[in-house]
Structure 1
Amino acid sequence: MKKQNFIITSLFLFWIIGTTAAQTITGKVINIHAQAIDGATVILQTIDSTFVDAVITDTTGCFRFNRQPASYRLIFQHIMYETLLLTTTGEDTGTITLKSKDYALDEVIVKGERPLVKVEEGKLSYDLSQLTTHRIVNNAYEILQQLPGVQEINGNLSLAGAHNLSIILNGRPTTMSHEQLAILLKNTPASRVEKVEVMYSTPPQYHIRGAAINLLLKVYRPEESGLQGEVNAGYLYNYRNGTQGGISLLYTTPKWNIDLLYNTHYEQNRQTTDTYSHHTLKNNVYDICQHNNIDRKGITHYVRTGAEYKFNGSAHINLAYTGIFNPNNDNHSYSDGNITTADNRTKKEAQMHNLALDYLSGFGMKAGINYTSYHSESHQQFTNKDNKKQTSEFHTTSGQIIDRWKIYVDQSHTLPREWTLNYGTSLTYASDHNTQFYHTQNGTDMSELNTDNCYNEYTYDFYVGFSKNMGERLSFSASITGEYYKTARY
């Protein structure tokens, strides 16, 4: 019997930044030389990582929040200093000392015409022209790694003070996976990124839970109209060898933004391990000697093309295609010694297609559809001979087909007295089909190991909320979100 699960989550976020004397949090941020740090970002969270507020230190290094949870967490971030997390209570946090990051730079003269980061409606908005000055940054992924509080752990980006992190482009939801988005960002030139917004509590109109980073790509500028392009090439030599190259084109006019990206990567590497050991079992010593080689090679093609047409006023429509192709990836591992002799060869092909259509009207409506298709197929040939001369051999074929759809509609209305009404809905559908079949080479029946699984999931959500900006030091927002989720029997 299928069950239906309906979750209603009510989120009320209030923050008042005024001049009241009670319920405040104050402190000062300095470096190891006791010098005040100007422009450091201080983020206030509850103990369960719920975003409350954010401020910027002044020229004396001081900061002030006009609200005080019973216990709370502060996150201190600055481009030139290590990120610091502090869990504490009380009104006065005292003096906070940040440690400098290890940058090997020549003498640098910085003229501050624009702030590095601004706090805008709960978002931390970073100025990339200052963030990437005097640094080698080649693509959008490396830009994210330069953000204070962002680090890469096991190939995934994380944000200090956040349980999970989502990446979005131009404020639009996508059906691409985190790994596929990472490949997209690594192939997007750094020069194409205009602005980065960090949100610890993402508003519901982005259709994302938790923290998110929004990358805004460059659009038409009168002084930079026409055709722009970049060509890149590189060679990597370390424990692995590889080559890469590509081209980036951008054409902008008052009505059109058209872009084309193409990159290709070829990598090959070898890993060698020699194992020598004396293993004792039941008072007997066994000598173990094994030599292992793992060879990998493969090529990846990445292409993205998009077109945006701007109607009169603020309305526009955008169509973009992203493709990732791995036509031939080979892995070969070989082990030889007095324990076993094994040979394992794997060939894999994969491709991903993403199509995104977005429309923004002149009356506050935003709608779009996003589709991702992923298909992979692999063949494995395995042979093993142990020290008793017993041989096992089999061949496997496996595959995966994934289809994801997302449709969303959002609406915003300006009400009297500068209130704003926001509401919207989205529907997400995903289908995942996995197969693996064993084909024996020596007459042994292995059909019981075969797998053929398919599952579908549906997610429907809706929200409604109000917001109001009451000057530079006071704002209010409230929203309610509901979600219906269904997969298999749950």
Structure 2
Amino acid sequence: MMKSALPILLLFSSMALPLSAINQAPDTLSTTLHQSSPPLQASGSDSIPDQMLNEVVVKGEKSQIRSRDGSMVVDLPSIVRNKPVSNILEALTYLPGVTSDGGMLSLAGAGTVSIILNGEPTDMSVETLYQLLYSMPVDKLKNVEIMYAAPAKYHVKGAVLNIILKTPTPLDGLQGQLWAGYEQTHRPSYGAGAAATYAIKKWTFDMNYSLRDGRGKDREITHSNHLVDGIRHLIEEDNSRISHKLSNLIYASTAYSFTKESSLKLTYNGQFTSNSKNLSHTTGTLGQSLNTSTYQSPIAFHYAAIRYTTPFGLAAGGEFSHYSERRHQYLQSLSPDAPVMDASNRQRVSRTHVYADMTHQINDMAINYGAEYTSASDHSRQSFLLPENPGFNSTLNEKTIQVYAGMQGSFPFGLSLTASLAGEYYHNASVHNWDFVPQLGATYYRTPTSIFQLSFFSERVYPSYWELHGATGYLNPYSIVVGNPDLLPTLKYSGQFSYIFRQKYVATLYVKYNDRASAQLPYQSPTELQLIYQTVNMNYTRTVGLHLHIPLELKSILNSTVTANLFNQRAKAYRFHDISFDNRRWTFYGELNNTLRFSPTSPIAISLDISCITPSIQGIGNLTGLWKMDAGIKWSFAKKRCCELNLKCNDIFNTWSPTLTIDTRGQDYRMKVVDMTRSLNLTFVYRFNGFKPHETDIDTSRFGTGK
């Protein structure tokens, strides 16, 4: 029912380092005058003799961070130019305030972050989007806009990374890239792909294909001192899982430009995952068990979109996505040898999204308004052969209508502002509610040296479809995962205030408040020896923190970035199953990234990154402190350096593995995640005709039966 017994590493999305934004301003210049001889003395005449300056040296430093319409614009290509990265997904982790937790990106001061491409709405799944970004070269990346509070016109709630790509022109001809990669963790994985762009007259074409043979391994050791009817029972378990899947991703896009301001774009994205299998082996106090999860047909995700823009400010489009999965799960006890569970899960989700936006430009002010409609139908089924369980066969239909109005503009006294207010109506079989979603982004600056930014947003986050059906899954005979039809959406509020000094040093004060926040954590049943994982609503979680981002450079040879994040977390629940808790703690996260080149033109760059975090909380539980060291080397070679070889080792000393402890209100549980995070990655890239590749977007956070 889920990839591991505990989504521990989602912790770091709650502590993700905060980020900031900056106003657009010219680069900072410094001028030094050098005089080679003493000043000439005036002669007896009235004339003033000429004075010769030996040289005038102008040293320019390109700004890494600018501001535009209340968002932060980051020159990411220049930041990662010498880093051992070969694709856009890896590059995003070098954005200020962005961290990767178990492969999922999060943004400081905001937690989860959505990704869009060139400001266009998208309805693709997170997994498909990440695989697509993984297969996309950095070369086509122009810059990235970071928005803590995305305006309603983007049709995305909350914090957003807007990836801006370079657009091919007919003069570029056919451009492309071939790549192949190898990753060694406890098991080897392989990948390969190709990407190409082409433009002719008013047409542009983008295509991308990637294939990845992924293999993984996880392991946890648990100690559960379980209280039942006043008696403690010590249950110790060693859980090991291996997984395998073959993922194919196809992306194709074509656009036709009627004029400079008017175009029609068609996009298709498909992901097909075959040969998927998960095998979990448990040994411990209750004996041995084997849990096998296989997919009876490939997991398929299809996404198609059309978008039309006009010269008079109208943008309209539609998207359709379809997800299908068929999974069989069989759990048997090996001592004694007996079947425990035999179940089949099926899910089909279809979703349609249409929208229309209108923008009016009035001097330096833009007024925008629009509407969108989303309809989703989820048909899911679970049937049991063992044990006796009626399962379910039901359909969830939901509809969302949103209308909004907003504005953005700049004022002569140094203030730029973007603001919007959206009214959203949500409807399903049991819920009918209106929400008003405000958004505000403001930037103030008088000189490029000091820039201030303020942002605020709110959003409603809905649970996964599978959880709402109330499905039941088994991890082993002792641990089960239970759905929750009564699970309520989470209301998220977030605010950030940033100070940017010299367009690269950033200090951000932030606060996050999640009303009815949900968590899936282990709970020891008081009536039977059963460990229950169920996503339930808490009262709230709250995080307040201060984040610092400090880049340093030494003669274009050594580039370093210091990140420091001090924050206070609190999680409170009056009713977590049948107990209550109020958990809080101060936590510090620190990171030092270094890139060394032997000379400014050296084809070889070496990186060394160190991270650490002090003890933190996850709902009712407490997590131990962690540290890790990563290192890599990048070699660019051949004609015009069209070939690239990247070697990187993550978590060299295998230390980025936390221990979860729950010891309150009769609950006594400890889980140690065993050292499974070290990996060795080798990637070879070949580019032809000066390739500058492409991108795309997705969100399937609510899809899948493994929730």
- With the length of structure 1 as denominator, give the TM-score of the two structures: 0.69
Deviations along 1:5-43, one digit per CA (max 9) or x if unpaired, are xxxxxxxxxxxxxxxxxxxxxxxxxxxxxxxxxxxx994
CA contact (8 A) 2:70 2:416 kept: no
> After the TM superposition, which residues 364-443 of structure 1 pair with which residues of structure 2 at under 5 Å, given as runs?
364-386=313-335, 389=336, 391-415=338-362, 417-440=363-386
1:234 to 181, 185, 202: 181
Q: 2:311 aligned with 1:311, yes or no?
A: no
Q: In 2 relative to 1, CA 312–385 (structure 1 residues): closer, same or farther, beyond 3 Å?
A: closer
Q: 2:410 aligned with 1:469, yes or no?
A: yes
**Residue identity opposite 2:151 in structure 1:** P
Deviations along 1:269-299, one digit per CA (max 9) or x if unpaired, are 45578999999x9xxxx99997765332221
Q: In 2 relative to 1, CA 55–128 (structure 1 residues): closer, same or farther, beyond 3 Å?
A: closer
Give 1:197 deviation, angstroms.
Answer: 0.7
Give 1:301 deviation, angstroms.
Answer: 0.7
Distance 1:345 1:426 in 2: 42
Q: In 2 relative to 1, CA 214–338 (structure 1 residues): closer, same or farther, beyond 3 Å?
A: closer
Q: In 2 relative to 1, CA 154–54 (structure 1 residues): closer, same or farther, beyond 3 Å?
A: farther
Q: Which residue of 2 aligns with 1:99?
A: none
Q: Say which SS state the counterpart of residue 368 (structure 2) adopts.
A: strand
Distance 1:271 1:54 in 2: 44
Distance 2:285 2:369 in 1: 68
Q: In 2 relative to 1, CA 240–301 (structure 1 residues): closer, same or farther, beyond 3 Å?
A: same
> After the TM superposition, which residues 32-431 of structure 1 pair with which residues of structure 2 at under 5 Å, given as runs?
43=20, 112=60, 114-221=62-169, 225-270=172-217, 294-335=241-282, 339-348=286-295, 349-386=298-335, 389=336, 391-415=338-362, 417-431=363-377
Distance 1:470 1:269 in 2: 54
Distance 2:273 2:337 in 1: 36
Q: Say which SS state the counterpart of residue 489 (structure 1) adopts.
A: coil
Bigger mean CA deviation after superposition, 288-297 or 300-309:
288-297
Give 1:471 deviation, angstroms.
Answer: 4.5
**Residue identity opposite 1:135 in structure 2:** K
Query: How many residues in Structure 1 have an aligned counterpart in Structure 2?
Result: 384
Q: Say which SS state the counterpart of residue 174 (structure 2) adopts.
A: strand
Q: Which residue of 1 aligns with 2:496?
A: none
Distance 1:471 1:275 in 2: 62
RMSD of the TM alignment (CA)? Answer: 3.6
CA contact (8 A) 1:42 1:56 kept: no
**Residue identity opposite 1:468 in structure 2:** G
Distance 2:221 2:110 in 1: 41
Deviations along 1:227-268, one digit per CA (max 9) or x if unpaired, are 001111122223121111111111123412101111111123
Deviations along 1:103-153, one digit per CA (max 9) or x if unpaired, are xxxxxxx97464222111111112233121211222221121111111123
Q: Say which SS state the counterpart of residue 146 (structure 1) adopts.
A: coil
Deviations along 1:189-230, one digit per CA (max 9) or x if unpaired, are 22232221111221121122322110122212465x210011
Q: In 2 relative to 1, CA 263–363 (structure 1 residues): closer, same or farther, beyond 3 Å?
A: same
Deviations along 1:36-80, one digit per CA (max 9) or x if unpaired, are xxxxx9948xxxxxxxx768899699xxxxxxxxxxxxxxxxxxx
Q: Say which SS state the counterpart of residue 144 (structure 2) adopts.
A: strand
Give 1:464 deviation, angstroms.
Answer: 2.1
Q: Which residue of 2 aligns with 1:458?
A: 399
Distance 1:161 1:287 in 2: 39
CA contact (8 A) 1:42 1:57 kept: no
CA contact (8 A) 1:43 1:55 kept: no
> Structure 2 regions of 5+ residues with no counterpart?
1-17, 31-57, 432-707
**Residue identity opposite 2:313 in structure 1:** G
CA contact (8 A) 1:220 1:254 kept: no
Q: Say which SS state the counterpart of residue 121 (structure 2) adopts.
A: coil
**Residue identity opposite 2:423 in structure 1:** G
Q: In 2 relative to 1, CA 136–393 (structure 1 residues): closer, same or farther, beyond 3 Å?
A: same
CA contact (8 A) 1:263 1:301 kept: yes
